A and B are shown apart, each in its own frame.
Chain A
Amino acid sequence: MNAFWEPLILSVKLASIATLLLFMIGSFWVYVLSMYSFVGKSLLKALVSVPLVLPPTVLGYYLLISFHKEALVGSFFDQLFNVQLAFSFEGLVIASLIFSLPFMVNPMLSAIENLPVSFKESAFTLGKSKINTFLKVMIPNIKPAIVAACVMSFAHTIGEFGVILMIGGNIPGETRVASVAIYNEVEALNYNTADSYSLILLFFSILVLTLVYIFNNKKISSAKVI
């Protein structure tokens, strides 16, 4: 029984950790991109979206090379945390941070950019600092976008297959997440197990998305009361 649920628990664990970390990283990027203007801003925006168009195998390949103990990233983690990144859960988290980044940053960024400029400007004229404006004026006004961004990152990480297969090694209890487990069971001709995993993931995805949209509708209708 435990062996059956392991991949699903692992998927949820990976997606939760990645989404939480991405929220911190993503908000920082959105802050920089929305409050400052500088040379190379468009390039930075483009870089955020690169994982969207990059084939997962390309990302997996470059990650595999950089995770090697002699490479920059790999040796950093090896010496500091005594962790080998390839074939480990930590490696999956790092990979997820990269390929789900656009799903966290883009919704938040476009929502902030669509806010009336007067919000920002009136806060500045009232003497509020950039960070204060960002946290107390901009962020509260894009709550539905933040929720959407978190859900998209979560769902995308649960569904990621190509990169995880390349750098994960399909190790039970460590890197055999649900998407890889399904592939594994299909190959081993265990169609029943593959069916179970697929149906669970399908219903979970529908449930999460439905709850999010219910939440969003409540928020919008309650905001209209003012």
Chain B
Amino acid sequence: MGFKICLLWSSLFCFMMDITSVAVSEPACLRVAIASSLLKPIEDIGNKFTQKHSICVDFISASSGVLSAQIRNGAPYDLFISANMKYPLHLTKEGKTESNPKIFAFGGLLLWSRYPIQEKDLRQLSMSAKVQKIAIANPELAPYGEKAKNWMIEHNLLKILELKLVYGNNVNQVNLFIHSDVVELAFTSISAREMIKDRKGYWLNISEDTDTDLPHGVVVLSKSSNKKISFLFLNYLFEDEAKEILSKYGYSSFENLTLN
């Protein structure tokens, strides 16, 4: 009797192990870890890439800080596209990348407001009672959040507005707050205007033209299981079709530049 039970349990156990191994051995698409602000533009570029090269691409999006921590802990990604160069450069120093990161675009900070807004009234509006909640991405994890916080410090607004701040895990969660209309003011990325097309409200570009604070970097990771295809995708980001999509979302692209 006891023997029969052991037999049943061990056969169930082997069956379970078999099932789990099936889950692992499926062929994987190219895995791109992408900063939240760049999800939609790079997804569009990825679709064009798949059409051209018949290679499927999967996107895992989160804030650049979260993705970089995951990569440091062995996450199985092929490429890392970050909203700044700080995180990819850290990873290169730690030996987690195949080569130096490359800048493929420059981002910019965009302000969304429920009420009509102009640059000169910005200070007054943000301090008024009409604005109760201001959304920014978490400055510790998201480059856009960090930039927003620095902008507020530069304009002597941080101390005053601190109590009104609502933190999103990443820029896409900020976009979610904008879309659900639960905040009056929000600091997001320039791509948000194209990403949340049906949101009423007012947009104000508060980044300077040559905004070098937000260079977006791309790098192939050493953990990649298919480096040849990863570099193919990386180089695709610099082609005309990709640049067209990036400018549609408001980015200014950059020629092949390697930062050391």
Q: Which A residues have a C-beta under 8 Å from some C-beta of B?
A: 10, 13, 17, 20-21, 24, 64, 68-69, 83-84, 86-90, 93, 131-132, 135, 169-174, 184, 186-189
Contact = CB atoms under 8 A, between A and B. Distances in A.
Contacts of B230: none
Nearest to B27: A173
A86 B16 contact: no
A21 B62 CA distance: 32
B175 interface: yes
B75 A20 contact: no
A93 B19 CA distance: 12
A68 B73 contact: yes
A170 B16 contact: no
Given A13-B23, A131-B2, A189 B13 contact: no
Interface in B1-37: 1-2, 5, 9, 12-13, 16, 19-20, 23-24, 26, 28-29, 31, 36
Contacts of B179: 189
A84 B39 CA distance: 27
B74 A20 contact: no
B176 interface: yes
B75 A189 contact: no
B228 to A, nearest CB: 21
Given A21-B16, A24-B13, A187 B73 contact: no
Contact of A69 (B5, B23, B40, B74): B74
Contacts, number: 76
Contact of B16 (A20, A83, A172): A20
A174 B21 CA distance: 11
Contacts of A93: 20
B23 A174 contact: yes
B19 A87 contact: no
A131 to B, nearest CB: 6
B173 A187 contact: yes
B62 A170 contact: yes
B206 interface: no
A84 B70 CA distance: 13
Nearest to A65: B73
A13 B1 CA distance: 31
Nearest to B178: A189
B189 to A, nearest CB: 14
A17 B172 contact: no
B196 interface: yes
B75 A135 contact: no
A10 B176 CA distance: 26
Interface in B203-233: none
B73 A172 contact: no
Nearest to B10: A24
B252 interface: no
A189 B196 contact: yes
In this complex, the member of A21, A184, A188 whose beta carbon has the largest number of chain B beta carbons within 10 angstroms is A188
Contacts of A69: 74
Nearest to A129: B2
A184 B19 CA distance: 26
A89 B24 contact: yes
Contacts of A13: 19, 23
B153 interface: no
A3 to B, nearest CB: 9
